[in-house]
Structure 1
Amino acid sequence: MDLSLDGRVFDMVSSTASRVDPEAPTRFRYSEADGVVWGEYTGDTVTTGRFVGTRDGARLEVSFAHALVAGGAPVTGTAVSRIEPSDDGLRLVEDFEVAGEPQVSVCAEVR
């Protein structure tokens, strides 16, 4: 299966860090070339977000920054995701930390 993320769009479907709004989930738009991955995201609690990183096989590592609807300081960090095939395309299962606590989010490809 082709694991390239170029041109793919994903919606967040679950997160242990916060409730996901099923009517307006955070939507991620990916580009990829030569193992470098970048993109943007918005929706739910995020007004503007950007990420950049690398993909090696089914492993995705990114750094990100985003602004929240509620205001305050920008949120920055790093995340590692597994790219998994599913019946409806690809899923991204992301492990990350918030305030030192491990968290997991899942994004599903939008077809």
Structure 2
Amino acid sequence: MARSLDGLVLAPVADQAPGQVGTRTRFTYHERDGRIWAAYEGGDVERGYLVGTREGDRLDFRYVQLKRDGGTSAGHCVSLVVDLPDGRVRLEETWEWESREGSGTSVVEELPSGVPSVD
């Protein structure tokens, strides 16, 4: 099993469609006893939260976000936790909106230490 996500700051490796998370979005993860949660913001996202569970290297969570234009959205994501050769963590995500049409895949990776987190 990959190491704990607790306290890690991750960011997407590529921009998604306009109005969604992108390379300027920062996720600050927390993990305890198989439960995960994170706050995120940046780019088109003013504030977002996710909550869910971890079983081995599989995350299953729901997310909600407030965009800078005032719109809100919610969805579901399943992620695979991967340890990178340099010691960082990558999440390979498959997501779908529940509040609107759309689904896709994305990758977020742990940023080097010293990058500001989202409280």
User: What is the TM-score of this pair, normalised by structure 1?
Assistant: 0.85
Specify the alignment match of 1:34 in structure 2: 33
Partner of 1:44: 43
Deviation, structure 1 residue 69: 1.1
Can you list the C-alpha shifts for 1:36-55, whole angstroms capped at 9, x where unaligned?
Answer: 00110000110000111001
- 2:3 is matched with 3
How far the C-alpha of 1:14 sits from its partner, in A, is: 2.1
Calculate the aligned-residue CA RMSD, in Å: 1.9
**Equivalent residue, structure 1, for 2:73:** 75
In the aligned structure 1, how far is the partner of 2:12 from the partner of 2:4?
A: 18
Greater strand fraction, Structure 1 or Structure 2: 1
TM-superposed CA distance for 1:86, in Å, is: 1.2
Name the structure 2 match of 1:96: 95
The 1:48/1:14 distance shift into structure 2, 3 A limit, reads: same
- 2:50/2:63 contact within 8 Å kept: yes
- In structure 2, do the counterparts of structure 1 residues 107 and 66 end up closer, same or farther at CA, with 3 Å as the change threshold? same
The share of aligned pairs that are identical, in percent, is 37
Instruction: Select the residue among 80, 86, 92 that pairs with 2:84.
Output: 86
Equivalent positions of 1:14-33 (< 5 A) are 14=14, 17-18=16-17, 22=23, 25-33=24-32
Question: Structure 2 stretches of 5 or more lacking a match?
Answer: 113-119
Shift of 1:21: 5.2
Q: Is the 8 A contact 2:2 2:83 kept in 1?
A: no
Q: Distance in 1 between matches of 2:70 and 2:36?
A: 27
Is the contact made by 1:3 and 1:57 (CA closer than 8 Å) also made in structure 2? no
Which amino acid is the alignment partner of residue 62 of structure 2? S
Q: Distance in 2 between matches of 1:55 and 1:21?
A: 24
Question: Any conservation in 2 of the 1:61–1:81 contact (CA below 8 Å)?
Answer: yes
Equivalenced residues, count: 107
Distance in 1 of aligned mates of 2:89 and 2:59: 13
